[in-house]
C-alpha cells in the first residue's frame, strides 16, 4: 500500500520567466546583506565602547550609532533607486557627521576618546 506521499503526482518545476528582469531582486538582496553587515559591525563596536562614566559612555556609543547611520546611507546610495530617499540619506549622513564631530570634541574636553572601563 502506497503512503500519501507516493500517491500524489510529482510536482512540476516552476516555469521559466523568460524576459523578466530579476536584477532588482538581486539588488535588494545585496542591500539587505550589506545592511545586516553594518548592523552587526555597529553592535559589536558599540558594545566595546563601555565607559564607567555614563556621560562618556553615551558619547562613545552615539558616535558608533551615527557611523552606522552613515554606513546605511552609503548602502542606500549604492543600491537605492528612489531620488527622494537618496536625498534624505545624503542629508542625514551630513547631519550625523556633524553630530560625530560634536561628540568627539566633547570627548576631547572630557577625558579623551578612549573608553575607560
pLDDT tens-digit map of 50-85: 899 999 999 999 999 999 999 999 999 999 999 999
pLDDT tens-digit map of 6-61: 454 555 555 554 554 445 445 568 878 777 777 777 767 767 678 999 999 999 99
Instruction: Round to whole Å and give the CA distance between 53 and 96.
Output: 23
Instruction: Round to whole Å and give the CA distance between 84 and 82.
Output: 6
Domain ranges of the chain: 30-46+54-111
Q: Where are the alpha helices (DSSP H) in 3-114?
A: 4-7, 23-47, 54-79, 83-109
Residue for grid cell 552587526: 40
On whether the pTM is more than 0.85, the answer is no
Amino acid at each position: 500500500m502506497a503512503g500519501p506521499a507516493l500517491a500524489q503526482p510529482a510536482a512540476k518545476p516552476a516555469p521559466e520567466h523568460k524576459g523578466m528582469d530579476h536584477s532588482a531582486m538581486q539588488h535588494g538582496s545585496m542591500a539587505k546583506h550589506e545592511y545586516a553587515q553594518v548592523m552587526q559591525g555597529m553592535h559589536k563596536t558599540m558594545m566595546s565602547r563601555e565607559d564607567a562614566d555614563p556621560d562618556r559612555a553615551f558619547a562613545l556609543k552615539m558616535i558608533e550609532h551615527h557611523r552606522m547611520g552613515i554606513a546605511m546611507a552609503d548602502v542606500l546610495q549604492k543600491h537605492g533607486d528612489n531620488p527622494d530617499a537618496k536625498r534624505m540619506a545624503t542629508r542625514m549622513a551630513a547631519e550625523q557627521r556633524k553630530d560625530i564631530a560634536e561628540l568627539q570634541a566633547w570627548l576631547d574636553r572630557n577625558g579623551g576618546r578612549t573608553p575607560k572601563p
